[in-house]
């Protein structure tokens, strides 16, 4: 092959192909403040969750913090219910229910969770409000950042970051307060007597909130949150999403109010870009559905305000489905929605039944493996067992121990055990049986405990009884 047959790649490469920097520096987004229906809805959904998060640790239930994850004692106290490590399957089941609920909501209304109730969205909104109060409107903030340093600029920046750090500190302290009594934590922090772990985790979650809500903001939604990447697989043509009506809005063009835009041969969109300026992720919804869209609907409020001024019908940007945009109708009841609703109802029913029928006592029987059996002078066979009895109730009980499965078998030692509330007791005992009733080298033995004052409070545990092989 000669040099003439070789192709120069530089000559055939498309002109629009250029270098793409995969690690581009974040461009700061200056959002414009907007009022409207969906902005008010965000307040009604975000504030109750925020207040619940902040106030729950301060509430008391039966003389104890209402929600307290006591890791040293391995007990989770939630509104009068105490959960132990043995109850972790319920936690896994609850997380599955939450996941299915998110899938169902996404299928019905897109990424509405992100726009209205996601903690990242709620805290970012608070930080943006502080920014607006200390540095001014969108244009004022842009001018302030470009201006040289002065005393006014320094005071505004200090005020903004001071407000951010205060909110972040309250957030971090509250989170630690779910794992360490919050009244003790506040006192320890105020008197500079907090332990290293309490102090370390408070600082950690304070800085995490400060960085995520103050500096990273939309980067968390666009790059760190996995939900943004797989949400599209749950969309269908009937999913409600924030969409721009291209048939009505195009072609775009500016015009004076009062003119008949049809005579100008332009659509309803006046290309004011207000929808872009209010977007917390900085996208242009007019370019179609994008994974960065969190469904907050601020662009709808912005566009509706412009439509009102221009005396055009609202809804150029609105919650709608692909079917509706194409001139069809949205199918509300469809197989996927019905399936999600059915599965959710079943799972919630099973979970509720398990919670309300939960018996707060547990018994575990383990046979001694160091010595399989003991033969007494009378010829009887004895096995040694270690029992762990857990009284998960908030009241003391006396438990009676019994065995079944082997005729004539008896417990050598005490059979009545008083336990205080939330007490865990380890019991070592022997079980004796006559060899003539044992027809196998290994026989199933069932231990049962029952509260003397509450017969419904009982638990069983199975083990094996061993004898010599003949």
In the numeric block, which tokens belong to residue 101?
A: 């609920």
* Residue 246 within any structural domain of the chain: no
d(Cα 271, Cα 109) in Å, to the nearest integer? Answer: 27
Name the residue range of residue 79's domain: 37-89+96-227
Chain centroid to CA 130: how far? 25
pTM (two decimals): 0.82
Residue with tokens 């302290």: 173
Judge contact between 280 and 295, C-beta under 8 A: no
In the numeric block, which tokens belong to residue 87?
A: 């109850």
Judge contact between 127 and 90, C-beta under 8 A: no
The band of 21, judged by pLDDT with boundaries at 50, 70 and 90, is low
* Residue 209 within any structural domain of the chain: yes
Q: What is the CATH number of the domain that holds 417?
A: 2.60.40.10
Which of 200, 227, 254 is at the close of a domain? 227
In the numeric block, which tokens belong to residue 256?
A: 């004076």
Judged on CB neighbours under 10 Å (0-12, 13-18, 19+), 24 is: exposed
Bridging pattern class, strands 442-451 and 81-83: unpaired
* Residue 380 within any structural domain of the chain: yes
428-442 burial code (b ≥16 CB/10 A, e <16): ebebbbeeeebeeee
Domain count across the chain:
2
* Residue 290 within any structural domain of the chain: no
Tens digits of residue pLDDT in 320-330: 999 898 888 88
* Residue 416 within any structural domain of the chain: yes
Give the CA angle between residues 274, 280, 286 to the nearest 5°. 50
Write down the H helix ranges in 60-149: 88-109, 112-116, 119-135, 138-146
The band of 262, judged by pLDDT with boundaries at 50, 70 and 90, is low
- 424 φ, ψ to 5°? -115, 125
Which of 177, 208, 227 is at the close of a domain? 227
CB 8: neighbour CB atoms within 10 A? 7
* Residue 75 within any structural domain of the chain: yes
Helix (H, G, I), strand (E, B) or coil at 24: coil
Tens digits of residue pLDDT in 61-98: 888 899 999 988 888 988 888 888 888 888 889 999 99
Percentage, residues of the chain above pLDDT 70 = 94
Query: Taking Cα atoms as reference points, which of 325, 314, 334, 312 lies closest to residue 241?
Result: 325
Give me the DSSP letters along 114-139: HHHT-HHHHHHHHHHHHHHHHH-SHH
* Residue 301 within any structural domain of the chain: no
In this structure, are 70 and 212 located in the same domain?
A: yes
* Residue 340 within any structural domain of the chain: no
Which residues, including other chains, have CB under 8 Å from residue 293's CB and lie 6 or more apart?
111, 241, 242, 281, 283, 285
Which of 209, 227, 245 is at the close of a domain? 227
Judge contact between 451 and 457, C-beta under 8 A: yes
In the numeric block, which tokens belong to residue 174?
A: 């509250």
Tens digits of residue pLDDT in 385-401: 999 999 988 889 999 99
Query: Taking Cα atoms as reference points, which of 277, 27, 31 lies closest to residue 135?
Result: 31
Tens digits of residue pLDDT in 135-164: 999 999 999 999 999 999 999 999 999 999
């Amino acid at each position: 092959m000669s040099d003439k047959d070789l192709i120069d790649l530089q000559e055939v490469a498309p002109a629009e192909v250029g270098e793409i920097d995969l690690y581009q520096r974040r461009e700061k987004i200056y959002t414009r403040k907007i009022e409207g229906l969906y902005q008010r809805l965000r307040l009604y959904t975000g504030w109750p969750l925020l207040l619940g998060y902040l106030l729950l640790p301060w509430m008391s239930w039966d003389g104890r913090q209402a929600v307290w994850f006591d890791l040293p004692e391995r007990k989770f106290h939630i509104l009068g219910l105490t959960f132990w490590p043995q109850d972790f399957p319920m936690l896994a089941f609850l997380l599955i229910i939450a996941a299915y609920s998110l899938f169902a909501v996404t299928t019905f209304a897109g990424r509405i969770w992100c726009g209205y109730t996601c903690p990242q969205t709620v805290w970012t909104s608070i930080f943006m409000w502080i920014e607006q109060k200390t540095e001014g409107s969108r244009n004022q903030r842009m001018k302030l950042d470009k201006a040289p340093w002065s005393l006014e600029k320094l005071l505004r920046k200090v005020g903004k970051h001071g407000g951010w750090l205060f909110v972040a500190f309250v957030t971090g302290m509250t989170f630690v307060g779910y794992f360490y009594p919050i009244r003790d934590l506040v006192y320890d922090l105020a008197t500079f007597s907090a332990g290293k772990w309490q102090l370390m985790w408070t600082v950690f979650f304070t800085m995490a909130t400060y960085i995520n809500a103050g500096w990273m903001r939309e980067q968390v939604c666009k790059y760190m949150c996995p939900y943004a990447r797989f949400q599209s697989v749950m969309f269908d043509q009937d999913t409600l999403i924030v969409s721009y009506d291209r048939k009505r809005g195009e072609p775009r063009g500016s015009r004076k109010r009062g003119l008949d835009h049809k005579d100008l041969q332009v659509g309803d969109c006046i290309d004011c870009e207000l929808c872009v300026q209010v977007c917390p992720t900085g996208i242009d919804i007019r370019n179609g559905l994008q994974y960065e869209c969190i469904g907050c609907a601020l662009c709808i409020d912005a566009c509706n305000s412009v439509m009102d001024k221009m005396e055009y019908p609202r809804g150029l940007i609105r919650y709608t489905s692909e079917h509706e945009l194409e001139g069809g109708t949205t199918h509300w009841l469809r197989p996927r929605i019905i399936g999600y609703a059915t599965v959710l109802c079943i799972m919630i029913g099973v979970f509720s039944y398990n919670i309300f029928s939960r018996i707060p006592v547990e018994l575990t029987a383990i046979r001694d493996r160091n010595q399989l059996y003991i033969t007494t002078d009378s010829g009887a066979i004895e096995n040694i067992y270690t029992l762990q009895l857990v009284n998960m109730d908030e009241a003391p009980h006396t438990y009676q121990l019994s065995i079944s499965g082997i005729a004539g078998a008896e417990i050598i030692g005490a059979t009545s055990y008083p336990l205080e509330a939330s007490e865990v007791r380890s019991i070592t005992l022997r079980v004796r049986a006559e060899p003539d009733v044992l027809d196998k080298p290994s026989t199933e033995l069932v231990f049962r405990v029952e509260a003397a004052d509450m017969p419904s409070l009982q638990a069983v545990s199975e083990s094996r009884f061993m004898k010599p092989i003949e």
